[in-house]
Chain A
Amino acid sequence: MEQVFNWITANQQILYIVILMIFVGIEVIGRVPSVLHTPLMSGANAIHGVVIIGAIIVMGKAEPGNYPALILGFLAVLLGTLNVVGGFVVTDRMLDMFKKKK
């Protein structure tokens, strides 16, 4: 039990961010019209591509001879980039079509 309390204390900053971000996330999209559901999902999909930063760190820290880590890291960077770039581009294409209507 003590370990758990220690862990909470050690990570309290992060826990505050997590809790506040949950409220921000809910608040920010609370009033979205249903036509925008899909682009919003797609945009959020691109944003969680931020996981690529973790991939870059893994890749950049791998020792040059450690091929399993290098290969897994490389794959992670590649997939993360696909998520980010593909996500933003496809969202932009969706929204571009909305704009034309006016």
Chain B
Amino acid sequence: MTTAGTIDAALLSALPTAPTETVVPTKEQSAAAATLLGATWAAAVQ
């Protein structure tokens, strides 16, 4: 969209600047985390 000029550049520039270090979990990482959460979350916050 940027190359084609179809993105709303003003809106894009208004986004908060992303943190210098960013984590985007992969599918596999999310699956592992979900398994752990399912097993332990309820007891952790009861």
Q: Are A and B part of the same complex?
A: no
Query: Which residues of chain A have a CB within 8 Å of any CB of chain B?
Result: none
